[in-house]
Amino acid sequence: MQPEHWDATRDGPLSERVMYDKLTARGYAVNRWVYPPGTVFAMHSHNLDKIDAVLAGRFKMTMQGQSIILEAGDCLVVPKGVMHSAEVVGDDAVVSLDAVRL
């Protein structure tokens, strides 16, 4: 499980529009979500490849026995059919772009 980190040198300043454009250019449909503190998504899977991209807050992702915390500018590919969970960490809401493969 390897997150992609925002590269300001390559991608410019982090913004919702630039992150959205970057994900759609990779062939994903993108929706914006805000998850309040305390939000937990139990283990589940999806029938599509997806990417979780964080614009604000801290999002703990657990997949294949490993956990990481995504922060602003981080993206994580979640392959179709792979069990994973997610949890908002800390006192701030997570602003996320949820991208699914078209």
pLDDT digits (tens, 9 = 90+) for 37-72: 999 999 999 999 999 999 999 999 999 999 999 999
Average pLDDT score, the chain: 96
55 within some domain: yes
Query: What's this model's pTM, rounded to 2 decimal places?
Result: 0.92
Q: Which domain holds residue 74?
A: 8-101
2 within some domain: no
Question: How far apart are alpha carbons 10 and 7 in whole angstroms?
Answer: 5
Closest to 71 in 3D by CA, of 88, 60, 58: 58
- pLDDT attached to residue 76: 97
Strand order across the beta sheet in which 40-44 lies: 40-44, 84-89, 58-63, 66-70
Question: How far apart are alpha carbons 60 and 67 in whole angstroms?
Answer: 7
Number of domains in the chain: 1
Q: Could you tell me the CATH number of the domain that includes residue 38? A: 2.60.120.10
26 within some domain: yes
1 within some domain: no
Q: Which residues pair with 51 in a beta bridge?
A: 77, 99
